Structure 1
Amino acid sequence: MSYFLRKIGFYAVALWAALTLNFAIPRLLPGNPVDILLAKLQQRGGTVSPETREAYALLLGGDSSEPLWVQYVDYLKNLLRGDLGVSVSYYPAPVSEVIGQSLPWTVILVGLATIIAAVLGVGLGAFVGWKPGTWLDSLIPATTLLAAVPYFWLALLLTYLLARVLGWFPLQGGYDVVLTPGWNAEFILSAITYGFLPALTIVLASIGGWLLGMRNMMVSTLSEDYILTAEAKGLSPRKILRSYASRNAVLPSVAGFAISLGFVVSGSVITEQVFSYPGIGGRLLGAVSNNDYALMQGLFLFITLAVLGANLVVDLLYGLIDPRTRARS
């Protein structure tokens, strides 16, 4: 029990540190969100007065001219109330509404692509590692090359070949704009069609890491004594592969998979930008370019919670699966 309490305590401190950095880092950037919003108002012919500036500062959760510790206390109080503020980039929409509109797109796209890449990579890696030195090893350089290719270059290449030249898929967007978003067959089919190329980019770019990691763990596991014992007992190769080798070799991949799921919330910024996909990536870039403190903090908060939650789950599961982990802690 003390092991689990220590882990929970450690992640509670890590969460507080992450929230503090989440507050501090955006404010180290030059500029002021209130001034940016007032500049947009002036561009549209509006009149800026001291009263207007004060009203906008209050609307955005306080003026950045206030002492940092006051802003920090207000920031923590607002978090406890679930108030993430108002977005400058998408004013007057609340941050929670902006994130709520974009998060499902990223979670579905990147989440499904991560699951597909992990399942295919681990499965292929198990077979490649089971028969090292065969023609199956030729898969390693090909997938490693794809993993080394920059995301944006691979995305542009797939867009050119499959969308512009062959015309199999649409170039950009998340769905056909003439459709009304909803849980109906026509809209879902459109979303799948538009999301295929971004998902394919993520799968091709990440499958090599899963395959190589599982292959190396399989080769290492096959030299263990319990594998030799299983072979001496006369067990079938399929039984050894499934129940002995793969089950032990897959443990690091399971941990990596859980952590990868934590990063799903952050999305794939470059891929989403290339395909103009309506996910978190575009919102994050817009928040940074406009010094949108509230939106940046909201996005970083969701990313932080997802990553810390995934790591906590992995640590707790390892404590249950392997008692030696608790003994060493």
Structure 2
Amino acid sequence: MRFYLQKIVFYVVALWAAVTLNFLIPRLMPGNPVDIMIAKMGAAGQPITAGTRHALEVELGGSGGSLIQQYGAYIVNLLHGNLGISLTNFPEKVTTVIGQALPWTIALVGMATIISFILGIGLGMLAGWKRGSWLDNLIPVTTMFQAVPYFWLALILVLVLTRVLSLFPYAGGYNVATTVPGLSFQFIGSALYYGFLPAVTIVISSVGGWMLGMRNMMVATLSEDYIVTAEAKGLKPSRVRMTYAARNAVLPSLSGFAISLGFVVAGSIVTEQVFSYPGIGQLLFTAVSNDDYALMQGVFLVISLSVLAANLVVDVLYGLIDPRTRARS
């Protein structure tokens, strides 16, 4: 129980630190969202009065009072689920804008992460079991793809599969001309069709890391005494491979996978930008380009919460799987 209490206290403090930094960093940056909005309204020829500025300060959470007072108001609004108004999508709330983009990123990056993990772990297990085989020799190729920049690989796939072969669309999340968003087979099919190419980019870029890590752990695990004992007992090779070797070799990869899931909500900024995919990565790029501090704050907060939650889950699971972890605390 002491182990879990320590972890909870640690992550509560980490959450407070993340929220505080999320509050401070945009306010230490040059510029003011109210001034930016007034400049845009002035450029459009709209009249600007003192009342207009005050109304925008209220809507956008302008700098009213001392920094401590702003921090207190920020915490109160945060507890009420109010992350402010998006400057880019004015007058939409930040929570609404993030809520519209988040499902796209979770579907694309989440599924791509799961597929690359399962594929990499399976291939890495076989490569470690059959060292020197063609699959083992394939690892340098997959590692090379991991070293290739996302945008370069994405552009190559766009050129070959959308321009030369015309197999897939090159931009968007679904066919906006013929499809209405909703829980229909037509929309789901269109979303899968448009998301296939970005997902392939992520899988190709990330599968090499899982494969290499699992292969190395399999090689190390196969030299353990309990593996030699299992083979000496005459157990079937498939049972030795799955029950004894792979089961223990996969543990380090599981912790990395849980953390990777925490970063799923961050999206893949470069991939989403290349394919104009309507996810969190594209949203964050738009917020930075337009100095939308409230939206940046909201996106960073969602990413911080997901990463902290994933790390907490990993720590708790390790405490359950390995009692020695609890004994050291």
- Find the counterpart in structure 2 of residue 254 from structure 1: 254
Mapped partners of 2:54, 2:106: distance in 1 = 37
CA contact (8 A) 1:36 1:290 kept: no
Local SS of the residue matching 2:141: helix
CA deviation digits over 1:293-327, x for unaligned, max 9?
A: 21111111111111000000000000011000001
CA deviation digits over 1:96-120, x for unaligned, max 9?
A: 1100110000000000000000000
After TM superposition, the runs of 4+ consecutive aligned structure 1 residues lying more than 3 A away are none
Mapped partners of 2:70, 2:130: distance in 1 = 60
- Find the counterpart in structure 2 of residue 153 from structure 1: 152
Mapped partners of 2:316, 2:142: distance in 1 = 32
- Find the counterpart in structure 2 of residue 224 from structure 1: 224
CA contact (8 A) 1:29 1:291 kept: no
User: Which structure 1 segments of 5+ residues have no match?
Assistant: none
- Find the counterpart in structure 2 of residue 316 from structure 1: 316
- Find the counterpart in structure 2 of residue 215 from structure 1: 215
> Which residues of 2 match residues 1-329 of structure 1 at below 5 A?
1-61=1-61, 63-64=62-63, 66-178=65-177, 179-329=179-329
After superposing the two structures, state which structure 1 stretch, 176-185 or 313-322, moved more: 176-185
Mapped partners of 1:199, 1:6: distance in 2 = 38
Mapped partners of 1:260, 1:24: distance in 2 = 27
After superposing the two structures, state which structure 1 stretch, 204-213 or 174-183, moved more: 174-183
Mapped partners of 1:264, 1:219: distance in 2 = 30
Mapped partners of 1:171, 1:290: distance in 2 = 25
CA contact (8 A) 2:64 2:70 kept: no
The alpha carbon displacement at 1:135 in A equals 2.1
Mapped partners of 2:270, 2:29: distance in 1 = 22
Q: TM-score, normalised by structure 2?
A: 0.98
CA contact (8 A) 1:33 1:290 kept: no
- For 1:144, the aligned partner's letter is T
CA contact (8 A) 1:287 1:295 kept: yes
Mapped partners of 1:32, 1:161: distance in 2 = 44
After superposing the two structures, state which structure 1 stretch, 134-143 or 265-274, moved more: 134-143
After superposing the two structures, state which structure 1 stretch, 63-72 or 87-96, moved more: 63-72
CA contact (8 A) 2:218 2:249 kept: yes
- For 1:316, the aligned partner's letter is V
CA contact (8 A) 2:146 2:204 kept: yes
CA deviation digits over 1:42-74, x for unaligned, max 9?
A: 12111112221111001112x226422221111
Percent sequence identity is: 65
Mapped partners of 1:58, 1:229: distance in 2 = 71
Classify 1:316/1:253 alpha carbon distance in 2 versus 1 (closer, same or farther; 3 Å): same
CA contact (8 A) 2:124 2:212 kept: yes
Report the RMSD for the aligned CA atoms in angstroms.
0.9
Equivalent residues, number: 328
CA contact (8 A) 1:26 1:291 kept: no
